[in-house]
Amino acid sequence: MAYWLYKSEPFKWSWAMQKDAGDQGTEWTGVRNYLARNNMRTMQIGDKGFFYHSNEGLEIVGITEVCALSHPDSTAEGDARWDCVDIRAVCDLPKPVSLKDIKANPKFEKMALVTSMRLSVQPVTEDEYLDICRLGGLDNPPL
């Protein structure tokens, strides 16, 4: 099992929209960064991830799950370089965890969200996942 963080601007694709997509989930399209694409290529069915509102909110608001392996991005207009995975919403974080709170906590000083701010799809360690879930009010997070 691996853990991830997906960044989305809420005016383009919000957590509410992700939840509305239901159990079938949606493609995580539009990623045009090689490292983020490579991260998606390593994902497995069932991997969990955080849904992060970027630009507005700047907080982790929910937990997702990979529901389809890496495949060609339908928005890439035939450009075979770009892949995506499908993700579905699993649950809300009862208390969203802000970037400010993450940066203020020494436990997260090496977290990709702090060190690689611009990367749209990034790895999260198991300890980071569990600690952020606790901060967000999930004592028994989905694993």
For 36-50, write each residue's pLDDT tens digit. 999 999 999 999 999
What residues does 69 pair with on adjacent strands? none
The residue range of the domain holding 129 is 3-136
Q: Is there a domain that residue 98 lies in?
A: yes
Distances (CA, A) of 141 to 21, 57, 114: 21, 22, 22
Contacts of 99 (CB under 8 A, 6+ apart): 58, 59, 113
Total domains, the chain: 1
pTM equals: 0.96
CATH number of the domain at 79, please.
3.10.590.10
* Model confidence at 64: pLDDT above 90: yes
Handedness of CA 97, 100, 106, 108 (dihedral sign): positive
Looking at the domain assignment, is residue 143 inside a domain? no
Q: How far apart are CA 11 and CA 17, in angstroms?
A: 10
